[in-house]
């Protein structure tokens, strides 16, 4: 860990916290059409073979078992989930699983204009769209050559399709302060919830000095553009803290995993595209669930329950993630 990683001492986690694990993030692919510099090397990472990733039937079977183990919130992630064919069909199948109360997806938005209406009709309830910059040149540099225009078209399509809320994820890196006025204008004019997310030390060495921008620095800079007031959280089960300002259609939020150590309040599990169940983004404890799916529902439910019981609520325990962010699912 780095000097910015000033966590309080590990907090005890009673049954109430463990019993609160109700959120599952499912990565449907490790592939992505962006090369965001904080997520993977410019050359990318060797993709998994199609045979090595869970098929949609396996994902639905796992979700059904996860509901029995207490999961009620499911989020689809990648890679970029919309690069996988037939995703709308998977959304429809998951929306039909009794016990899933909230079905959401995180996307880079580049393919969303084509799919937003179909995803909404299939039963997807909420969308998070990653937009790390509203400056086309800076966006191009951060994403390794992607264009901003299709992403903004995807955002427009999501709002037109009736998604509510629509959240914008912005990884906070150097240079962000120079365009805070653009993000303030975005949530003033549109019913979106812009969340600034502190850069996390996952995967390769991108947590270098000068790259990390803490919440306090962004909050101070935002005071030049808007008078922020604490606001209620929009729908969702995340750790963000939200603010509103006069005349705004949306809100501004902060997710601060480094400066505000919220691991003891974590309520989530992660399923990777190749079928490994993790209790934490930083965990080296992985359960291979593919053979368990074939072994029957009771065995699978028990394995999920066991993973919850082994879940650690302090990310320092394992010494860091073993995978690139794109291989975990964010």
Domain boundaries defined on the chain: 15-328
28 within 8 A of 90, measured Cβ to Cβ: yes
- Could you tell me the pLDDT band of residue 137, with boundaries at 50, 70 and 90? very high
Asked which of 10-24, 75-89, 124-138 is least confident by mean pLDDT, the reply is 10-24
Q: What is the pLDDT of residue 325?
A: 56
pLDDT in tens, 143-180: 999 999 999 999 999 999 999 999 999 999 999 999 99
Buried b or exposed e, range 225-261, using 16+ CB within 10 angstroms: bbebeebeebebebbbbbbbbeebebbbbbbbbbbbb
Residue 60 has pLDDT above 60, yes or no: yes
Bridge partners, 172 (sequence order)? 198
What is the strand order of the sheet 126-130 is part of? 229-231, 241-244, 251-255, 192-198, 166-172, 126-130, 102-107, 73-77, 23-27, 268-271, 276-278, 286-288
pLDDT, position 322 = 56
Question: How confident is the prediction for the chain on average, in pLDDT?
Answer: 87
Mean pLDDT for the stretch of residues 244-256: 96
Say which CATH topology domain 15-328 has. TIM Barrel (3.20.20)
pLDDT at residue 263 in the model: 79
Say whether pLDDT at 207 is over 60. Answer: no
Q: Global pTM?
A: 0.89
Question: What is the torsional sign of CA 307, 308, 312, 315?
Answer: positive
Contact call for residues 173 and 213 (beta carbons, < 8 A): yes
Q: Are 27 and 323 in contact (CB under 8 A)?
A: no
């Amino acid at each position: 860990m780095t000097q910015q990683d000033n966590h309080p001492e590990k907090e005890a986690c009673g049954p109430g916290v463990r019993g609160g694990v109700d959120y599952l993030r499912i990565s449907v692919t490790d592939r992505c059409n962006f090369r965001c510099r904080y997520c993977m090397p410019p050359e990318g990472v060797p993709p998994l073979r199609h045979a090595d990733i869970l098929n949609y039937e396996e994902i639905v079977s796992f979700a059904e078992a996860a509901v029995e183990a207490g999961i009620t919130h499911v989020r689809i992630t990648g890679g970029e989930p919309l690069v996988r064919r037939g995703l709308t069909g998977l959304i429809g199948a998951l929306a039909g699983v009794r016990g899933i109360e909230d079905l959401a997806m995180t996307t880079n938005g580049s393919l969303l204009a084509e799919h937003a209406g179909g995803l909404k009709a299939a039963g997807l309830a909420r969308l998070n769209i990653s937009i790390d910059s509203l400056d086309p040149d800076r966006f191009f540099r951060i994403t390794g050559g992607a264009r901003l225009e299709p992403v903004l078209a995807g955002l427009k399509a999501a709002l037109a399709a009736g998604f509510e809320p629509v959240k914008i994820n912005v990884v906070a890196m150097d240079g962000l302060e120079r365009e805070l006025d653009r993000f303030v204008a975005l949530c003033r004019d549109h019913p979106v919830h812009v969340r600034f997310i502190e850069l996390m030390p996952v995967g390769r060495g991108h947590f270098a000095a000068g790259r990390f921008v803490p919440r306090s620095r962004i909050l101070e800079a935002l005071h030049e553009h808007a008078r922020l007031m604490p606001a209620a959280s929009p729908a969702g089960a995340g750790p963000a803290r939200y603010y509103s300002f006069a005349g705004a259609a949306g809100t501004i939020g902060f997710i601060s995993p480094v400066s505000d150590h919220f691991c003891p309040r974590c309520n989530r599990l992660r399923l990777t595209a190749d079928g490994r169940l993790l209790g934490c983004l930083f965990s080296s404890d992985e359960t291979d669930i593919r053979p368990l799916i074939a072994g029957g529902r009771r065995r699978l439910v028990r394995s999920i329950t066991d993973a919850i019981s082994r879940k650690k609520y302090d990310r320092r325990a394992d010494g860091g993630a073993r995978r690139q962010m794109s291989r975990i699912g964010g």
